[in-house]
Chains A and B, each alone.
Chain A
Amino acid sequence: AQKVTQAQTEISVVEKEDVTLDCVYETRDTTYYLFWYKQPPSGELVFLIRRNSFDEQNEISGRYSWNFQKSTSSFNFTITASQVVDSAVYFCALLKTGANNLFFGTGTRLTVIP
């Protein structure tokens, strides 16, 4: 069975602080994909990143970075120098290879205070 846990329900930071959103997953499969999506207050879901289970390289995209560690089944997301526009709910999701169902965590609501 697949499971994604985002233990941080809500986080508040002051603008320009760094923040890390945690994601822990469970799967018995050896090949799978991990995703992060952003849901701003307007409600749409915005794709941020996809990572397959064979690629443990960390990735950086501007102020965003992702740390994938298979040994701890974690795929954490860090925002550097946070901005008010980063305020959103962030979802981590898991897709088993060969399946159609994205398993979502319950999300972390990030509030960046100006």
Chain B
Amino acid sequence: NAGVTQTPKFRILKIGQSMTLQCTQDMNHNYMYWYRQDPGMGLKLIYYSVGAGITDKGEVPNGYNVSRSTTEDFPLRLELAAPSQTSVYFCASSYKGPPSGADTQYFGPGTRLTVL
């Protein structure tokens, strides 16, 4: 199993550009998540999904959109990139989550995004 994979690893955007961060997991996990990590900080949840077709906002959703058309894929879309979105983005997945119980979230390698 490759686990959770993310592309690209690095990207530089200009202000106002858009892009999609890709995330794929091959562990047949139901739950998927997007976090951002700002310098010197812990991770904060952007969006999550409990299954194909179902997504919900996390702690910091503004400026982002997500979709979940398959169990494996959970892309994160940035519209009109801003310098405040400069961060490292992590995708994660877990087999199950609430209300059936918590499970360990496994993380991808991250995407480092710079907006200039």
Contacts and interface: CB of A to CB of B under 8 A. Distances in A.
Interface of A: 4, 33, 35, 37, 42-47, 50, 52, 91, 93, 95, 97-107
Nearest to B43: A104
Nearest to B31: A100
B87 to A, nearest CB: 12
Contact of A102 (B43, B109, B110): B43
B48 A100 contact: yes
B102 A97 contact: yes
A43 B10 CA distance: 12
B104 A43 contact: no
21 contacts: A35-B104, A43-B110, A43-B112, A44-B108, A45-B90, A45-B107, A50-B104, A52-B102, A95-B102, A97-B102, A99-B98, A100-B33, A100-B48, A100-B56, A100-B97, A101-B45, A102-B33, A102-B35, A102-B43, A102-B105, A107-B42
Contact of B42 (A46, A93, A95, A99): A93
B111 to A, nearest CB: 10
B40 interface: yes
Interface of B: 31, 33, 35, 40-45, 48, 50, 56, 58-59, 88, 90, 92, 97-99, 101-102, 104-110, 112
A43 B33 contact: no
Nearest to B42: A104
Given A104-B42, A104-B43, A97 B98 contact: yes
